[in-house]
Amino acid sequence: MNVRNFFLLMPLLLLAETPLEQFHQRTMPLEEAEQLKLFTVTEQGISTLPLYKTDQVHFPVVELQTPNGEKFLALVDTGAGTSVITLPAALRAGVHPVGNPPMQLGARGFGGNTRLWTGVMPALQFGELTLSQLRVGVWGKDRLQGPPDVDGRKIDILLGYDAMMAFDWMEYDPKNKQIRFGEGRPAPLRDAPSIPLDKKRGGGPLVKLSVGSQPDLPVTLDSGGHFGLRFSGADAKRCGIEAANLVAPVQKRKSVGGTSHVVEGPRVKVGFGPVEIQNLRSHIAVDSTGRTDHIGSLLGYPVLSRMHWVLDQEKKQARFEIPAR
């Protein structure tokens, strides 16, 4: 570009809106947002979403789209209490920020606490089913921290447990490499052993498992979790494990909200009712200095990916089965 053309275009360049300015122009008044019926499933049926399976994918990733055909890759993260979308994806999905200035949302998951803009997505299609008026946290960057690209595409959405709870049930099926969502239809694995399903405030699905000598340890099912079983410091003590006595170095894992720190613990037995996993390697959550953290125990994707499971919101049950090899 020559100097003359540059100066002719400079006023246009100065007037060009940033993505953040475009986003803020879509503001929805708080009073209007409060009248919305959030997380509404508009049809009955069963939606089947194939799981992405490549060497780059170590978490459950599916493709979703808006009614106008905009497609997004979503990481299905049951351990995140809030769904999150990147700023460029929010613009493509027609997300409206709530309030003027836009309200901020405090969220757990993503490896810690973080602040996001509160937004409302008009609709998101899960195959045959549509979820309307999703409340989302808008991450003010062009990519989520932690998840790698998938076949050259960025992960646009972290699909949290708040969105999954809108459906009657959710199924993870490793044999057929798919995730299914159901509304108004019978849930699968009805004859499998069941565990009461709860939800802690701001978090994911909470169940009580037998871990080592503890028959009823509260554990969050975290399909976005890096580690098979990650104890909190308090839960490790309940199971007779003292983090201070472990000589393993502190390990770090990056995720959307920051960096998680753990030390490697002993191998334990985990029971899902009559279903058991033997000799499972555990980790213990610590801070960056190695002191134990009390943020709750998680069962992560290295374990959940090996099991066939259903989160049945209608019956408030989690059901598990280990597929035959």
| Tens-place pLDDT, residues 224-273 | 888 899 998 889 888 888 766 665 666 766 655 556 778 888 899 999 88
The CA-atom distances, in angstroms, between 321 and each of 60, 120, 176, 280 are 18, 36, 14, 17
Mean pLDDT of 200-220: 85
Upper half-sphere CA count for residue 219 (Cβ side, 13 Å): 31
With respect to residue 188, please indicate whether it lies within any of the assigned structural domains: no
The residue written with tokens 């049926």 in the block is 45
At residue 110, the pLDDT reads: 46
The conformation of residue 239, written as its DSSP 8-state character, comes to: T
For residues 257 and 210, membership in a common domain is answered with yes
Strand partners, 199: 205
Say how many residues make up the chain: 325
Query: pLDDT-based confidence at 293, cuts 50/70/90?
Result: low
For residues 63 and 134, membership in a common domain is answered with yes
Q: Which residue has the higher pLDDT, 34 or 14?
A: 34
8 Å CB contact between 182 and 46: yes
| Tens-place pLDDT, residues 73-101 | 999 999 988 899 999 999 999 999 998 77
Domain containing 121: what range?
17-183
d(CA 239, CA 217): 9
With respect to residue 157, please indicate whether it lies within any of the assigned structural domains: yes
Q: What percent of the chain has pLDDT over 90?
A: 49
For residues 33 and 154, membership in a common domain is answered with yes
Mean pLDDT of 38-47: 92
For residues 21 and 41, membership in a common domain is answered with yes
At residue 291, the pLDDT reads: 54
User: Which of 183, 208, 230 delimits the end of a domain?
Assistant: 183
At residue 199, the pLDDT reads: 67
For residues 171 and 287, membership in a common domain is answered with no
With respect to residue 7, please indicate whether it lies within any of the assigned structural domains: no
| Tens-place pLDDT, residues 151-208 | 888 899 999 999 999 999 999 999 999 999 999 999 999 999 899 998 665 578 999 9
User: Which of 135, 164, 183 delimits the end of a domain?
Assistant: 183
With respect to residue 163, please indicate whether it lies within any of the assigned structural domains: yes
Report the CATH number that the domain containing residue 229 is assigned in CATH: 2.40.70.10
| Residue among 180, 159, 220, 222 at smallest CA distance from 51 | 180
User: Which of 115, 148, 183 delimits the end of a domain?
Assistant: 183
Tokens of 60: 């459950």
Instruction: Provide Rg for the chain, Cα atoms.
Output: 21
Q: Which residue has the higher pLDDT, 16 or 153?
A: 153
Q: Which of 12-21, 115-124, 147-156, 167-176 ranks highest by mean pLDDT?
A: 167-176
Strand partners, 297: 219
For residues 231 and 212, membership in a common domain is answered with yes
At residue 13, the pLDDT reads: 43
8 Å CB contact between 77 and 137: no
Q: What does pTM read for this prediction?
A: 0.86
Q: Give the chain's mean pLDDT.
A: 84
8 Å CB contact between 195 and 205: no
Q: Which residues contact 208 (CB under 8 A, 6 or more apart)?
A: 195, 196, 216, 217, 218, 219
